[in-house]
Amino acid sequence: MNNTRPIGVFDSGIGGLTVVKALRDLLPNENISYLGDTARVPYGPKSPETVQRYAIELAEMLMKDDAKALVVACNTVSSVALPTLTKKFPVPVIGVIEPGARAAVSATRNLHVGVIGTRGTIRSGAYEKALRAANSNVRVSSQACPLLVPLIEEGLLNDEITDRMILRYLEPLLKADIDTLVLGCTHYPLLAGAIGRVLKRQIMVVDSAQNCARAIENMLDEQSLRAAPMNNGQLRVALTDAADNFLNVARDALQLQFGEIEIRALS
Amino acid sequence: MNNTRPIGVFDSGIGGLTVVKALRDLLPNENISYLGDTARVPYGPKSPETVQRYAIELAEMLMKDDAKALVVACNTVSSVALPTLTKKFPVPVIGVIEPGARAAVSATRNLHVGVIGTRGTIRSGAYEKALRAANSNVRVSSQACPLLVPLIEEGLLNDEITDRMILRYLEPLLKADIDTLVLGCTHYPLLAGAIGRVLKRQIMVVDSAQNCARAIENMLDEQSLRAAPMNNGQLRVALTDAADNFLNVARDALQLQFGEIEIRALS
């Protein structure tokens, strides 16, 4: 087995680069092939059947790169397509929801977890389900934060308007007395600084991207799929259509190093 | 000629309802058939060829309703598809850009006009071109306001966060000493109140939706296409996919009366 085969990471767009960043930090020896479906972003409003079909297409493109594992760095896809992908592809498939939910259940002391995400993710109830599967006694308070993605994509990561918006979204969760907050959207780790500023008291913040990376590390160890320690991991980033401004925002904020973006047309 | 044939109005989504509202107010006897392509919104990031193709599809659907005129209630489509549509369909075709540009040129005293719109509209230079075509001496200062559409779609029409964002976007235009501001996005009339609050001095605000409606009135008069004064104009609203929250925002803010939304699938 050639363990320098890449880890294939995909997302509906650019947000999944936060997972790539967490992977690079944790597993610098691994080669990573990232594919963002910028031609069809956002997936949130699309039907589960459509999202499943798109996810299979993206996974097939990464399998052509000889991916040794598939990482679904997208909450929408993770909430509807993991069983389909697991059945269809002969490599391990890992999403962002279950690792985040498990970490939150480990972190909470008062068994009251808050979840923030896009309207689609919150409406799907996917985190609530995963949190209760990890601990049936956990109480979950959820808050859709539809304006955070636009604010992030505009690069307003350290901005008083963004801080005000975050405060407005988090206030009901804080009043409800959560002690742990799950960032249930792959964009949100870019707001980790702002969220820390806004939270007035001690709340554990669970970053789904970091927990996803840890789950991948465990899986690679279990399946003896780790690249050799001398391998200098490479990152390749491909998109299905030209990137907009957000790619620069994410690259700068995450300090990710990668070469020219490859455009891989959907067939 | 049966002049109760509807005016066919289309947009990439829901924003074009501001044009419908202006039409209802100005021409209450006219029947209107609205079609919003919510399945494929937003058009901004799509190529001109794709936008032209989509526009033809939508126009064909409205022609099946026997539309007597086509109104392109969308800046993106207006900026790239008007010649194609005019050539292809045997009815008058009116967009939002030229009427707004003409009104701005009539309004400005210091010949310095500001334009706000989405990043795509501003990048296209369509308003600048139309303004200069109306008066080659006019000076144009443009500002992309990418966060206004998300704020509007979330219904934050009268909200201090929106006011702050508007102020931030308008400050450079005010410093540049514009005396007239074109709202170059069909969503923006929903912020007319907020923009009025934020503008500290006398700026003429040119609402593209209202000016588009006036252009339609003139065209109907010129071509003797007006519905009879006793006709009680009906509004029919169809979308290519289920509407999201913004439909309720727009309906409430515009106080538009219409029955159940029809979903018209794209073939």
pLDDT in tens, A244-262: 889 999 999 999 999 899 9
| Residue A150 near residue B150 (C-beta atoms within 8 A) | yes
The pLDDT value recorded for residue B242 is 86
Average pLDDT, chain A: 95
Are A87 and A135 within one domain? no
A127 lies in some domain? yes
What tens digit of pLDDT does each residue of B63-108 get? 999 999 999 999 999 999 999 999 999 999 999 999 999 999 999 9
CA distance B181 to chain A (A): 23
Q: With bands split at pLDDT 50, 70 and 90, how would you rate the model's confidence at A160?
A: very high
pLDDT bracket for residue B261 (50, 70, 90) = very high
Same domain, B101 and B119: yes
What confidence tens digit (pLDDT) does each residue in B148-161 have? 999 999 999 999 99
Q: What is the pLDDT of residue A202?
A: 83
Q: Is the pLDDT of residue B225 over 90?
A: yes
Question: CB A147 to CB B150 under 8 A?
Answer: yes
Instruction: Note whether B161 contacts A151, CB cutoff 8 Å.
Output: no
Residue B1 in this model has a pLDDT that exceeds 70: no
Domain end, chosen from B169, B188, B208, is at B208
Q: How many domains does chain A have?
A: 2
pLDDT at B53 over 80: yes
Counting every residue, how long is chain A?
267
Any domain includes B2: no
Same domain? For B11 and B143 the reply is: no
pLDDT exceeding 70 applies to what percent of chain B?
99
What was the pLDDT predicted at A256?
A: 94
pLDDT for A148 equals: 97
B194 and B223 assigned to the same domain: no
Q: What is the pLDDT, as a whole number, of residue B202?
A: 83
Rounded Cα gap, residues B68 and B62, in angstroms: 9
Question: How much is the pLDDT for B42?
Answer: 86
CA distance B180 to B142: 12
In a domain, A190, yes or no: yes
- Residues 26-65 (B) with a CB less than 8 A from some CB of A: 45
Tell whether the model's pLDDT for residue B196 goes beyond 80. yes
- Based on the domain organization, do A78 and A118 belong to the same domain? no
User: What are residue B220's phi and psi, to 5 degrees?
Assistant: -60, -40
Which of B208, B240, B255 is the C-terminal boundary of a domain?
B208
Asked if residue B256 has pLDDT above 90, the reply is: yes
Give me chain B's average pLDDT, please: 95
| Contact yes or no for B18/B255 (Cβ under 8 A) | no
User: CB A147 to CB B146 under 8 A?
Assistant: no
- Please state the rounded mean pLDDT for residues A49-69: 96
Contact B241 A164 (CB under 8 A): no
The two beta strands, B180-183 and B235-239, are unpaired
**pLDDT tens-digit map of A185-229:** 999 999 999 999 999 778 999 999 999 999 999 999 999 999 999
Residues B50, B81, single domain; the answer is: yes
B104, B35: one domain: no
Cross-chain residue pair A151–B146, CB shorter than 8 Å: no
Separation of alpha carbons A262 and A231, rounded Å: 23
Beta bridge partners of A180: A113, A204
Is residue A2 in a domain? no
Tens-place pLDDT, residues B213-222: 999 999 999 9
d(CA A194, CA A165): 10
Q: Does B176 touch chain A (CB under 8 A)?
A: no
H/E element, A103:
helix A97-107
Q: Give the torsion through C-alpha atoms of B100, B105, B111, B115, to 10 deg.
A: 10
* Residue A139 domain-assigned (yes or no): yes
Looking at the structure, tell me whether residues A156 and A199 fall in a common domain: yes
Determine the average pLDDT of the residues in A164-179: 97
Average pLDDT for A77-97: 96
Position A42 scores a pLDDT of: 86
Provide CB contacts within 8 A for B147, sequence distance 6+.
A150, A151, A154, A156, B165
- Rounded distance, CA A44 to CA A41, Å? 8
In a domain, B129, yes or no: yes
Return the residue in A38, A166, A171, A244 with the most chain B beta carbons within 10 A, the one to mutate for interface testing.
A244
Task: Judge if A104 and A197 occupy the same domain.
Answer: yes
Task: Give residue A155's domain range.
Answer: 97-208
Local confidence band at B2 (pLDDT 50, 70, 90 cut-offs): low
What value does the mean pLDDT take over residues B133-144? Answer: 97
The CATH number of whichever domain residue A233 belongs to comes to: 3.40.50.1860
Instruction: Dump pLDDT digits (tens) for A11-48.
Output: 999 999 999 999 999 999 999 999 999 988 888 878 88
Q: Are residues B102 and B204 in the same domain?
A: yes
Q: How many helices (H) and strands (E) does chain A have?
A: 11, 10
User: What DSSP character marks residue A38?
Assistant: T
Using an 8 Å Cβ cutoff, are B262 and B238 in contact? yes
Structure-token match 């500001």, residue found? B114
3-state secondary structure labels for all residues of chain B: CCCCCCEEEEECCCCCHHHHHHHHHHCCCCCEEEEECCCCCCCCCCCHHHHHHHHHHHHHHHHHCCCCEEEECCHHHHHHHHHHHHHHCCCCEECCHHHHHHHHHHHCCCCEEEEEECHHHHHHCHHHHHHHHHCCCCEEEEEECCCHHHHHHCCCCCCHHHHHHHHHHHHHHHHCCCCEEEECCCCHHHHHHHHHHHCCCCCEEEEHHHHHHHHHHHHHHHCCCCCCCCCCCCEEEEECCCCCHHHHHHHHHHCCCCCCCEECCCC
Task: Assess contact for B181 and B116: CB atoms under 8 A.
Answer: yes
Average pLDDT over residues B142-170: 97
- Given A176, A208, A240, the domain boundary residue is A208
Mean pLDDT, residues A100-115: 98
Give me the percent of chain A exceeding a pLDDT of 70: 99
* Peptide bond just before A42 cis, omega within 30 deg: yes
Query: How near does any CA of chain B get to the CA of A27, in Å?
Result: 35
Q: Is the CB of B239 inside 8 Å of chain A's CB atoms? A: no
Which pair of tokens denotes residue A213? 């990376």
- Domain membership flag for residue B1: no
How many beta-carbon pairs below 8 A join chains A and B? 27
Q: What is the pLDDT of residue A2?
A: 60
Q: Which residues of B participate in catalysis according to the annotation?
A: 74, 185
* Residue B216 sits in the same domain as residue B92: yes
- Asked if residue A249 and residue A171 are part of one domain, the reply reads no
The runs of H, that is alpha helices, within A2-74 are 17-26, 48-64
* Model confidence at A149: pLDDT above 90: yes
The pLDDT assigned to A136 comes to 97
Surface-to-core class of residue A88, CB atoms within 10 Å of its CB (0-12 exposed, 13-18 middle, 19+ buried): middle
